[in-house]
Amino acid sequence: MGLQFDVCPSNVEEDDRGLDGPKRMVAKNSALKAEALANDYPDALILGSDTTVAFGSKILSKPADLKDAARMLMELSGREHVVYTAVSLRCKAGQVSVDFVETSTVQFKELNDRIIAAYFQQVNPLDKAGAYGIQEAREMIIKQVDGSVENVMGLPIQTLAKKLTELGFDFTVQN
Give the catalytic positions in this structure. 50
Residue from 100, 8, 116, 104 nearest 52 by CA: 104
Q: How far is residue 67's CA from residue 44's CA, in Å, rounded to a whole number?
A: 42
Quickly count: other Cβ atoms within 10 Å of residue 23's Cβ: 16
Give the contacts of 106 (CB within 8 A, at least 6 positions apart): 80, 81, 82, 83, 134, 142, 144, 145, 146, 152
